[in-house]
Structure 1
């Protein structure tokens, strides 16, 4: 069994010690499952970057499952005028899924997490909710399991961020995961991956 995690800097960091991919690999190894986890994350990537490197970085490795975790930069970079409009986001995302499915590769989708950790009103919350809704709808339409990180992060922040901090609860800087953030992502992904292919 081979699983590729396809994404941006959050996924790249996930392969490091205590990153979410590292935590998943350790958990799977303890369970006695023969599963290889591969991180295919590149800093700054948006959905169209994933589309452009889909063959070389994913399909050529013949994975059984691909976990797509992208969207933060598509939203975040809109503040600098170089994000991805939501229609294009959906178009490229759908194309990635359909290409993988055409190769009989199972696809797991993840909603976006956070850009700022305040439980009450971060600048780009509305966009994150909208882009996460696109991912959720694609999961339903194309019959892909969904890891709803957006909801998991929001619920955690409501419970543990009573001081309304911008960062430091699940992230180091409002975006990139700290140890607790990596643990949460690993737990949420494991719950979905178990029935998909690890059970």
Structure 2
């Protein structure tokens, strides 16, 4: 399954720091996979007027995404919404003791997708949260993260969304590159190579 980008489409990227990557007024698309994906699409279709928006916020969990969803998503009337969220819901359990139940995660995620579909006919891309363990203790995080990945897969089916299976993609890339640190230095935040691979996978879903 792929998405269809018409020449005047508005494409919105939503998520946490992996999407944010230091975006600011001088660089509104950030410095990660969003910027690279937009550049690849513009290079392939230079005559189109596709608009790319990045509203990722570092540190966000899915409940934070839901809290700002109208202002940062539906009010923008996007034609395509791409969402990458979930690893902070897991991370906070292990660094702060803040547990986010998998069912609550799925319920909040479903709520934001429902809001999109109720207000406009929007195409959806759901990117799995991912973890490429670089420390031994991070392997234990899989117990918490894997149910969230399964939830995203269920939601992709439920909402007829395009699914980017990023967890398997990036873990396999780590093996090919010779170690997790080549793809995500801390196991969570992609390196430039990790962002490039994510962007290329995203663009492939646009049929380019």
What is the TM-score of this pair, normalised by structure 1? 0.88
Relative contact order: is structure 1 or structure 2 higher (C-alpha 8 Å, sep ≥ 6)? 2
1:98 equivalent to 2:114? Answer: yes
Alpha-carbon distance in structure 2 between the residues aligned to 1:57 and 1:191: 25
Alpha-carbon distance in structure 1 between the residues aligned to 2:40 and 2:143: 34
Structure 2 unmatched ranges of 5 or more = 1-8, 24-28
CA shift at 1:7, angstroms?
A: 0.5
Mean Cα displacement is larger for which, 26-35 or 45-54? 26-35
Q: Partner of 1:12 in structure 2?
A: 20
- Helix, strand or coil at the partner of 2:55: strand
Mean Cα displacement is larger for which, 41-50 or 99-108? 99-108
Q: Partner of 2:85 in structure 1?
A: 70
Alpha-carbon distance in structure 2 between the residues aligned to 1:171 and 1:159: 13
Match 1:51 to one of 66, 81, 92: 66
Runs of 4+ in 1 over 6 A off after TM superposition: none
Q: Within 5 Å, which residues of 2 pair with 1:166-177?
A: 168-177=181-190
CA shift at 1:11, angstroms?
A: 0.6
1:190 equivalent to 2:206? Answer: no
CA shift at 1:183, angstroms?
A: 0.4
Alpha-carbon distance in structure 1 between the residues aligned to 2:17 and 2:149: 18
CA shift at 1:115, angstroms?
A: 5.4
Alpha-carbon distance in structure 2 between the residues aligned to 1:58 and 1:150: 25
Q: Superposition RMSD on alpha carbons, in Å?
A: 2.1
1:141 equivalent to 2:158? Answer: yes
CA shift at 1:100, angstroms?
A: 0.5
Q: Partner of 2:75 in structure 1?
A: 60
Count of residue pairs brought into register by the alignment: 190
Q: Partner of 1:122 in structure 2?
A: 139
